[in-house]
Amino acid sequence: MPYPDSFTTPDGLRLYTRLWNPPGSPQAHVVLIHGYGDHCGRYGELAQALNDAGLAVHSYDQRGFGRSDGRRAYVADYRVLLDDLDLFLSHIQPDVQETPVFLLGQSFGGLIAVRYAQTRQPRFSGLMLCSPFLGFSESIPKLLLVLGPYIAKVAPWFPVSQVAPDGLSHRPDVVEEGAADPLSYHGHVHARTGSQMQQAIADAFRDAVRLALPLYIVHGSEDRIVPLSGSRRFFDAYAGPDKTLQVCEGGYHELWHDLDANAVLQGICAWIHRRL
């Protein structure tokens, strides 16, 4: 059962949070960062699996997404999202205390998790990335990626791309529910947001050798939204000795909502338990 709460940022935004607690005392805590256009309310199945494994799950709607305040789906500076995560970790510290903490990011949330770990050097017990946004789909024209930062300066709100919901899962019910979800963002990615995504990806690869946390990446081989190639490149560049790349053959973007969901969830839980 998720328990709603909120915290307030220095610029006055109220960010909505959720806590899924297992029965009894949790063996560890998982901080979950949702993807672009997404919100934490869509992660109930994932949270339940982690709860069943004795793990507490803490999440929040990032600014501009879900129930949280902020310009809708607009990222003026991705580093502000790292500051928000700082605040969230302080917010949940009374619940966490000395228990192990793992950071888990989905898609764009995976990119934010990477940059947070690289810039803050936190004492997490592990970093887990599900379909992390570490590269752009081949469907996006290369010229647009070249011109994107310039467009962002003169027309930051200019629409540059859009995510097709049929790439989320093989399951029609997941696609339909995602497309109809009023808390999800279904519009175009703005030029400024796209340029910040580009910057964050470049920074993540530049600093890949700076991080040595235990790393677990799971990515679908048929992900049409975020390519597997980005995860492979990051895995190869990652300096830490404890790293795992799990490729789900045929998998789409939201692997805990896809055909091999049970195997994906069991893999995540098993990886965590081996590091407690």
pLDDT tier for residue 151 given thresholds of 50, 70 and 90: confident
CA distance 146 to 136: 12
The catalytic site residues sit at 107, 223, 253
Instruction: Write down the pLDDT at residue 147.
Output: 65
State mean pLDDT over 98-104: 96
CB 70 within 8 A of CB 13: yes
State mean pLDDT over 142-165: 75
Q: How many other CB atoms are found less than 10 A from the CB of residue 106? A: 29
226-236 tens-digit pLDDT: 999 999 999 99
Q: Nearest-CA neighbor of 193 among 46, 48, 71, 19?
A: 71
Go through the domains of the chain in sequence order and give each one's CATH number: 2-135+201-273 (3.40.50.1820)
CB 111 within 8 A of CB 85: no
Q: If you count DSSP H runs as helices and E runs as strands, how many of each does the chain have, helices first?
A: 8, 10
Strands (E) across the chain are located at 2-8, 14-20, 28-33, 55-60, 101-106, 126-130, 159-161, 189-190, 215-220, 243-248
pLDDT tier for residue 141 given thresholds of 50, 70 and 90: low
